[in-house]
Amino acid sequence: MICHGVGYTEGFRPASLHDAYLALGAWGLPVSTRTTRVDDAPGALERIAYWGEHRHDVDHEIDGVVVKIDDVTLQRRLGQPREHRAGAIAYKYPAPRGADQTARHPGSTSAAPDA
């Protein structure tokens, strides 16, 4: 399990999601060591590109990244409808191509070499 956000809280009012992650980590809860706070859209685009190039360096498979509004007050003002989070957007990377892609999809047919 890795904590990726904060829901309902009592007595805990972090100003930013980054501050919440720091507190959760200090309390011994698992948080991602790969989160980065950026100040603008170009910074977010740079991180999206970085993880697109380094996605296979992660110890588990990733198919994209999520960009979130850091300011908790702004997140709440934007709202969080059940269908989607107004304060976050997911960026999905293109699916892998070739033999690697076939191996990841159960039920796909591929010719196995004779032994």
Among 58, 44, 39, 57, CA closest to 89: 44
The predicted-structure confidence for 52-84, as pLDDT tens digits, reads as follows: 999 988 888 889 999 998 998 888 888 766 656
Chain-centroid distance of CA 25 in Å reads: 17
Q: What pLDDT was estimated at residue 6?
A: 80
**Going by C-beta distance under 8 Å and a sequence separation of 6 or more, which residues neighbour residue 104?**
96
- Is the pTM higher than 0.75? The answer reads no
Among 34, 40, 31, 38, CA closest to 5: 31
Give the residue ranges of DSSP H helices in the chain.
17-26, 41-54, 72-78, 99-104
The predicted-structure confidence for 5-46, as pLDDT tens digits, reads as follows: 887 789 999 999 999 999 999 999 999 888 899 999 999 999
Q: What pLDDT was estimated at residue 84?
A: 61
